[in-house]
Every structure is written in structure tokens, then in C-alpha cells.
Chain A
Amino acid sequence: MAEPLLRVTDLRKSYGESWAVDGVTFAVDRGETLAIVGESGCGKSTLARCVARLAQPTSGSVRLDGLELATLSRRRLRPLRPRFQLVFQDPSTSLNPRWTVEEIVREPLRLQGVRGDVPGLLSEVGLDPGLAGRHPHQLSGGQRQRVGIARALALSPDLLVLDEPVTALDVSVQAQIINLLLRLQEERGLGYLFISHDLAVVSAVAHRIAVMHAGRLVETGPAEQVLGRPSHDYTRALVAAVPGA
């Protein structure tokens, strides 16, 4: 069997006495979306940061194409960073308010010392390249999140870790961003690790779903199966809590 794009094995992260992530195992393939769902405080954001190596896992393994990331130092990680990028929840805090759109999208290119086509990236995420000189506060929430996505795409990653990427947006804008993410996945063959608490959003994007509760994955499976015939009590409670479900 071929090695998946991302394989996370028995990942743990503790803060003092408590375990935010407590032995989590899953895999994500190219072109596939794995959604991690769970209520706030279940450890899913910590999981996202450990996978994106913005936090140091306490133990366990994070392999990208078979390459171990969990134990690498900041310096050793640097050349590997372009392959996995993070999209943040709140685009009003994930873009430097002092910078222009151009500077924000160019930052990863500058840091890695590579050339890139900023207007092309803006067009790809559905933004008018004429907005390149604007500051974040001059953009709408949806436009800001598109800037965040363009920045994440700048280094041509294989994996995007999306930490509640539409939660801070209006419902109509959510649909636009979800469509954008689906199109980008198809065009670029991206693997998505999609963190969300919103089952309606998840059902629109996920191929597979993992349900997280108190730092552990209680159920993992194809999206239709987890949403349609949940096997774990906690998943049933989550599904039952969705209005209209």
C-alpha cells in the first residue's frame, strides 16, 4: 500500500497535567478531505497546530510522505514548511493589519527565497489583483479569508490544514469559500485536514470524518457513514444536535 500524504500516529500533546490531544491516529491522502469534528475545547485546534508544527507534540509521529516532522527542530523544519500550510479561523487576526495584501501574500515567498506570482495567486482565489495595494481592514471578511488562502497556496503545498476556515464568516460567504476550497482541491490535488465544529459545513466538504472528544478520536469513517449511521454515542449526540438533521 502506498504511503498516504499525511500519517499521524498516536499523537499526544499535554499542557501541564492535562492532555489536549491524547493518542490520535489518522491518515490523509492526496486529493482527500479528512474532517476532524468536535465541540470547542475537545483539542482539535491543538491537533491542527501540532500537525502544522506550530506547536511541538509531546509524543507521537507526524509523517508527511513518510518524512517524520514531529521531532524536527525549527531550523530543520524550515525547508519542509512549503509542503504543508495552515489556514486560520479568523481572517481579521491572521493578516498583519499593517501590511498590504501584496506584502501578506508575498511573505511566504520571501521567507523561503522563491519567486512567485502574487497577482496570479489572487486571481486563483477569486480576488481582483487590483486589491493588492489594500490593507486587510479595507476588505470584507470573505475577501480577507481569500487572502489567507492565497498566502497558504503561495508555496504550492501538498497539504492544507484548515482550522475552522469558514466559522468566522457569514453563511452566504461560507458557501463561496467552501466552493473555492473544493475547486482548489480538484485543480491542485490538495489534501485537506479540515477542522470544524459545524457538521453542515463538514458534510459539504469531507470525504472522511473523524469525531474528536476529550482529546481522542471516538469514531472515524466515510462521511456518509459517520453522519448517516453513527456508531458512537457521542457522534449520535452531535448529529442529533444539528437543526433539521
Chain B
Amino acid sequence: MRTSVRIALAGSALIALAVTFGPPLLGLDPLEQDLPAKLAPPFWMEGALAGHPLGTDQLGRDLLARVLAGGRTSLLVGFAASSLACAVGIVVGLLAGYLGGWVDRLVMGLGDLWIAFPFLVLAIATIGVVGSSTPVLITLLVLAGWVTSARVTRAIVKQVRGEDYVMAAVGAGAGHLNVLTRHLLPAVAGANLVIWTFSVGTMVLVEGGLSFLGLGVRPPTPSWGTILNDGRELLETAWWIPLWPGLTLTLTVLLVNLLGDGLRDTLDVRTDDHA
């Protein structure tokens, strides 16, 4: 395994552990307000307060606690939404590419229609009717995200299903399910892994955007997106509020991309050096 993959694995594990167990272990409450302590700067600056190493926001809430607790929401939404979107996209793309004909035209036509439809309108309408919650948010992100994966999967399947090695499998008695799981699914795995790593970051950002519009995570529950947006109007005076979620978000996306790179190289034998 390459060094970058080890670093990415270790870093991702560390972040996952920190956001899961950090707040209870450190005895921090992300919701506790302390107005006299509001807008305290981080520890290296003058006026920093003991017990708030990363500073506080405009309501005096501890930023370390909020970033850790917010990470839990953001990562849950980001990973769940991108994983589900890829899973849906892979299934749809496999079926459309393998079956062809009217199934293909119907499904891909729906995909085109879907992309042409403005996501925000859908989000506002849906949340207006059923209300806002984490499952609703994830569902919306999956609905918005499956098309990319489906299109790429379908294109690869169209190409691979006609390859002679698939013909050889059919000639030895392989059924449809066997061809799909043994030959086609592994062939689309690498591309989908790349899509997945890119979409984790995007999903976290979109979640932040929706939360800013009041369509995502409900205040006071923190997420990296909501903390970023909380800090936007105070950027000139309390720049540390958006700094921390921005840093953790960037770091997470970077680590996930490194991980995806490494996994893709492991899955795709044709990039072996010892050819």
C-alpha cells in the first residue's frame, strides 16, 4: 500500500473517531450558550478564553465542540448521500446499459430530465411539504446525485458487455446475473469510486448551502455548512468561525480523494507498474 493511502486511511479514521466520540469525551456541549464569552478568539490570540481553544461564535458557543459535533452531521449526510447516490446510479446504469432498448431510453431520458430540473426548486418544494430532517436531506441529495454515476456506469457497460471475454463467459454458460456481477460490476467500480470521492465533498457543501437557506439541518444543531454560514456575516471581525469548519472540510475532502486514488489503483490492475 502506498504511503498516501496509509495517511489517508489513518486521517479518515482519526476524523471519524473525533467527530463520533470527541464531544462526550471532552465534556463539551455544542449547544451551550455563554453570551458574556461571545466571539472569543482562538488560543494564540489576545483575549482568548480558557476552555475555548478554538474560540466561540456570536452566541458564545464553543467552536471546538461545534466543529466536532457538526462533523458528525456533515459526514453522515456527505457519506450517506454520496454512497447511496452511487449505489442507485450503479444499479440504474448497469440495467440501462445491459438491457438496452426501451429501458435504457426511459431511464436515461429521466436522467436528462432530472438534470434539467432545478434542484433548489425541488428541495424547497419537498421540504415545504414534508419538512426538514436529515433523512429528507439525504434523500434529496441522492435524487440530485445519482445521474452522474448512472451515466458513467451505463457508458462503460455498453462498451464492456460486447467484449469477447463477456462472450466467452456466455459461451461457457454464464447467466445474466453472473455476467453483471462478475464482469460488469468490477468494470465500473473504479470509475464510480472516483465519482464517489468527488461527490462526498460536494454533498457536504450542498448540505451547507441548503442549511444556509433554512432547508437543511435545523438550527441550533451544528453542521460544517451551518457553522460556515453562521460565520459569513462576521468574516471581518470573527474570521475564526468559518476557518475551522472550512479547514476540516478541506482536509476531509483531501483525505477522501487520496483514499479514492489509492483504492482505484488497487482495483484497476492495468495501471500496475510491473507490466
Interface residues of chain A, those whose CB is within 8 Å of chain B, are 49, 52-54, 74-75, 77-79, 81-82, 85-86, 88-90, 93-98, 104, 107-108, 111-112, 135, 137-138, 148, 151, 154-155
Contacting residue for B275 out of A82, A86, A111, A138, CB 8 A: A138
Task: Please determine whether A137 and B272 come into contact, CB atoms closer than 8 angstroms.
Answer: yes
Interface residues on chain B, number (Cβ under 8 Å)? 23
Contacting residue for A98 out of B167, B168, B178, B186, CB 8 A: B186
Q: Which residues of A contact B275 (CB under 8 A)?
A: 137-138
In the bound assembly, the distance between CA atoms of A104 and B269 in angstroms comes to 15
Binds A, one of B97-105, B121-129, B169-177: B169-177
Task: Please determine whether B272 and A135 come into contact, CB atoms closer than 8 angstroms.
Answer: yes
8 additional A-B pairs beyond A54-B170, A88-B168, A94-B163, beta carbons within 8 Å, are A52-B171, A81-B172, A88-B164, A104-B165, A107-B168, A135-B269, A138-B272, A154-B172
Task: Please determine whether B169 and A107 come into contact, CB atoms closer than 8 angstroms.
Answer: yes
Can you list 13 residue pairs at the A/B interface with Cβ under 8 Å? Answer: A54-B170, A74-B175, A79-B173, A82-B173, A94-B165, A107-B172, A108-B173, A111-B174, A135-B269, A137-B269, A137-B275, A138-B275, A151-B172
Asked if B161 is at the interface (CB within 8 A of a chain A CB), the reply is no
Task: Please determine whether A81 and B175 come into contact, CB atoms closer than 8 angstroms.
Answer: no
Task: Please determine whether A86 and B167 come into contact, CB atoms closer than 8 angstroms.
Answer: yes
Asked if B264 is at the interface (CB within 8 A of a chain A CB), the reply is no
Task: Please determine whether A95 and B165 come into contact, CB atoms closer than 8 angstroms.
Answer: yes
In the bound assembly, the distance between CA atoms of A52 and B171 in angstroms comes to 7
In the A-B complex, the 9 residue pairs with the smallest Cβ-Cβ separation, listed nearest first, are A94-B164, A108-B172, A81-B173, A78-B173, A88-B164, A96-B165, A111-B173, A111-B172, A93-B164
Instruction: Indicate with 1 or 0, residue by residue over B148-166, a CB within 8 angstroms of chain A CB atoms.
Output: 0000000000000001110
Task: Please determine whether B171 and A86 come into contact, CB atoms closer than 8 angstroms.
Answer: yes
Q: Which residues of B contact A151 (CB under 8 A)?
A: 168, 172
Asked if B274 is at the interface (CB within 8 A of a chain A CB), the reply is yes
In the bound assembly, the distance between CA atoms of A86 and B183 in angstroms comes to 18
Q: Which residues of B contact A53 (CB under 8 A)?
A: 171
Asked if B187 is at the interface (CB within 8 A of a chain A CB), the reply is yes
In the bound assembly, the distance between CA atoms of A93 and B165 in angstroms comes to 6
In the complex formed, the residue of A with least CB distance to B166 is A96
Q: Which residues of A contact B169 (CB under 8 A)?
A: 107, 111
Question: Which residue, of A96, A97, A107, A111, has the highest number of chain B Cβ atoms within 10 A?
Answer: A96
Instruction: Indicate with 1 or 0, residue by residue over B30-67, a CB within 8 angstroms of chain A CB atoms.
Output: 00000000000000000000000000000000000000
Asked if B270 is at the interface (CB within 8 A of a chain A CB), the reply is yes
Q: Closest CB-CB distance, B159 to chain A, in whole Å?
A: 11
Task: Please determine whether B163 and A86 come into contact, CB atoms closer than 8 angstroms.
Answer: no
In the bound assembly, the distance between CA atoms of A95 and B164 in angstroms comes to 7
Contacting residue for B172 out of A85, A88, A90, CB 8 A: A85
Instruction: Indicate with 1 or 0, residue by residue over B260-275, a CB within 8 angstroms of chain A CB atoms.
Output: 0000000111101011
Q: Which residues of B contact A135 (CB under 8 A)?
A: 269, 272
Task: Please determine whether A111 and B178 come into contact, CB atoms closer than 8 angstroms.
Answer: yes
Q: Which residues of B contact A88 (CB under 8 A)?
A: 164, 167-168
Task: Please determine whether B270 and A97 come into contact, CB atoms closer than 8 angstroms.
Answer: yes
Task: Please determine whether B171 and A112 come into contact, CB atoms closer than 8 angstroms.
Answer: no
In the bound assembly, the distance between CA atoms of A97 and B163 in angstroms comes to 11
In the complex formed, the residue of B with least CB distance to A88 is B164
In the bound assembly, the distance between CA atoms of A111 and B168 in angstroms comes to 11
Q: Closest CB-CB distance, A125 to chain B, in whole Å?
A: 15
Q: Which residues of B contact A75 (CB under 8 A)?
A: 175
Task: Please determine whether B173 and A93 come into contact, CB atoms closer than 8 angstroms.
Answer: no
Q: Which residues of A contact B168 (CB under 8 A)?
A: 86, 88, 94, 107, 148, 151
Task: Please determine whether A98 and B269 come into contact, CB atoms closer than 8 angstroms.
Answer: yes
Task: Please determine whether B163 and A112 come into contact, CB atoms closer than 8 angstroms.
Answer: no
Q: Which residues of B contact A90 (CB under 8 A)?
A: 164
Task: Please determine whether B187 and A98 come into contact, CB atoms closer than 8 angstroms.
Answer: yes
In the complex formed, the residue of A with least CB distance to B274 is A138
Q: Which residues of B contact A155 (CB under 8 A)?
A: 172
Q: Which residues of A contact B269 (CB under 8 A)?
A: 97-98, 135, 137
Q: Which residues of A contact B268 (CB under 8 A)?
A: 98
